[in-house]
Amino acid sequence: MTRRTALALAAGAGLSACGISGNSVTANVDTDPKSIAADAYLYGFPLVLMDVTRGAALANQLIRNTSPATARSRGIVAPQNDTLFSLAWLDLHAEPMVFQMPAVDGRRFWLIQVLDAWMNTVHDPSSVRPAGQATPFTYALTGPGWSGRLPDGLIPLAMPTPTGLIANRIQLDGAADLDAVRALQAQVMLTPLSFWTAGTTAPDVKAPPPSAPPLDQVNAMDGRTFFRRMATLLAATPTPPADADALKRFASIGIAADADVDQLDADVLNAAVHDGQARIAGYTNPKARIDNGWTVATNIGAYGTDYVLRANTAKIVFGANLAKDSLYALMTGIRAGASRRYRIRFAAGQLPPVDAFWSISVYGPDQYFIANPANVYAVGHETPVVPGSDGTVEITLQSAHPGPEVPAGNWLPIPENGTFTLALRLYAPKAAALDGTWKPPALTVNGQN
């Protein structure tokens, strides 16, 4: 594992150069047009990627993912089977949208993540922090500038942009739990406020088939294509007051809302795309920490003026959650092999501290699940781990079945060759995990660190 690769996966890559630094626009402003345009590319990257990802999808229509991922799944990188999700692209220009989460057993974790057009998580009601009292929890998402009156019982969630994405996750406890979660998903509701007040709901519409991978589309854009789209989106998307200095700097070379970028030097814009992508690939998040070989980042999900972290997290972890909702620890580039036997040993009383649950998943070098005869992709949640007589919990990671002496919930298959990645997920992590007081245990191989 390289430290740079792990940090990039955990928190996104970024930029440290003239104009935009690791967390803001700096006072040392470079006036070179190519440098300014490259910084503008980093600034606008999440906005353009969100818009391309939305693509032809119908706004304000729930898309329900009702099946767990397998080794054949290629929808998103680093999938997880701890939850099933329903999502919708929001368009709040016409009126607010009402989202209702049905009543759920208090032992089942759920999360409603709401992202703005810049890919910031701006709201995150959950079973741990529902932002209301009565169930079913019913939320009204309002666009910027909306000033109407909401009916009683609706919990307001004001959005800083008129477009965005809402993603609802519901805890899934293995295959036997599928029917129960699907029944809950069927009760999740998204409808315009006017339908809600009239006592009706908008009909579901079949979602269009997916297009080419959005990231591939954005990466393939030349300078004028990218900045033309960015200029159009800037005209339709409010920008925070804190962005004023950056926007003024970009406007100094003609990159602004509704600007005619076709009048700009194509070589400068193409160089900005090339430079911006290279900077994304080469940056390391300085705030990510290394705990016993695991990379942990707690500063993703909401970014303020940290445009670099925002852009690079968007590329690597699309729609990253806030750490308080789900914390990720990653270990990448681990050597596989039929003779290699890895172990992760949790001391007695030292399992991951969470208010919900945790899991460890294994991925191949392409960041997808690895095919294995047992169809086991994760441990810790779907099949509970079994402690030893002294209270310790030892996870066995090897390609061959370890035999009956290892409980089913304590074996995580790895590939016979190549490399793999481990992802430890903590849902609703406790303070000890967030502040680093608790650290995940080291990975050992054949009895050695």
Distance, CA of 376 to CA of 194 (rounded, Å) = 46
Domain assignment of residue 292, yes or no: no
Band the pLDDT of 217: cuts 50, 70, 90. Answer: very high
Domain assignment of residue 299, yes or no: no
What average pLDDT is seen over the chain? 89
Domain assignment of residue 297, yes or no: no
Domain assignment of residue 290, yes or no: no
How is residue 314 written in tokens? Answer: 């968007």
Q: Please give the distance of CA 147 from its chain centroid, rounded to a whole number.
A: 31
Burial of 439 (0-12, 13-18, 19+ CB in 10 A): middle
Band the pLDDT of 230: cuts 50, 70, 90. Answer: very high
Domain assignment of residue 247, yes or no: yes
Q: Which of 282, 302, 336 delimits the end of a domain?
A: 282
Domain assignment of residue 288, yes or no: no
Give the model confidence (pLDDT) of 51-95 as tens digits.
998 887 889 999 999 999 889 887 677 889 999 999 999 999 999
On whether both 68 and 193 belong to a single domain, the answer is: yes
The fraction of the chain above a pLDDT of 90, given in percent, is 74
Distance, CA of 179 to CA of 175 (rounded, Å) = 8
Return the CATH number at 12. Answer: 1.10.3360.10
Q: What single letter denotes the amino acid at residue 419?
A: T
The tally of domains found in the chain comes to 3
On whether both 252 and 161 belong to a single domain, the answer is: no
Nearest alpha-carbon partner for 4 in 436, 316, 273: 316
On whether both 138 and 258 belong to a single domain, the answer is: no
Band the pLDDT of 219: cuts 50, 70, 90. Answer: very high
On whether both 353 and 374 belong to a single domain, the answer is: yes
Band the pLDDT of 220: cuts 50, 70, 90. Answer: very high
Average pLDDT over residues 178-190: 96
Give the model confidence (pLDDT) of 9-49 as tens digits.
443 322 222 244 443 444 346 789 999 999 999 999 999 99
pLDDT at 207: 60
CB 395 within 8 A of CB 379: yes
Q: Which of 198, 223, 246 delimits the end of a domain?
A: 198
Burial of 226 (0-12, 13-18, 19+ CB in 10 A): buried
Helix pair 266-282, 33-54: axis angle to 10 deg: 70
pLDDT at 120: 97
On whether both 118 and 31 belong to a single domain, the answer is: no
- Domain hosting 113: range is 63-198
Which segments of 177-220 does DSSP mark as H helices, in order? 178-187, 193-198, 214-219
Backbone phi, psi, residue 293, to 5°: 90, -10
On whether both 77 and 173 belong to a single domain, the answer is: yes
pLDDT at 50: 94
Band the pLDDT of 112: cuts 50, 70, 90. Answer: very high
Average pLDDT over residues 201-220: 77
Count of CA atoms in the C-beta half-sphere (13 A) of 269 = 21
Token match 């088939």: residue?
209
On whether both 68 and 48 belong to a single domain, the answer is: no
Average pLDDT over residues 157-165: 97
Beta-strand pair 358-363/63-64: unpaired
On whether both 106 and 173 belong to a single domain, the answer is: yes
Domain assignment of residue 294, yes or no: no
Return the CATH number at 367. Answer: 2.60.120.600
Degrees, nearest 5: CA angle 28-34-39: 60
pLDDT at 345: 97
On whether both 45 and 68 belong to a single domain, the answer is: no
pLDDT at 165 over 70: yes
Q: What single letter denotes the amino acid at residue 176?
A: A
pLDDT at 449: 58
On whether both 192 and 72 belong to a single domain, the answer is: yes
pLDDT at 142 over 50: yes
Domain assignment of residue 298, yes or no: no
Give the model confidence (pLDDT) of 339-386 as tens digits.
899 999 999 999 999 999 999 999 998 888 999 989 999 999 988 899
Give the model confidence (pLDDT) of 166-180 as tens digits.
999 999 999 999 999
How is residue 153 written in tokens? Answer: 């019982």
147 three-state secondary structure? coil
On whether both 41 and 67 belong to a single domain, the answer is: no
On whether both 242 and 126 belong to a single domain, the answer is: no
Q: Which of 171, 198, 225 delimits the end of a domain?
A: 198
Distance, CA of 237 to CA of 180 (rounded, Å) = 39
The fraction of the chain above a pLDDT of 70, given in percent, is 91
H or E element that contains 230: helix 223-236
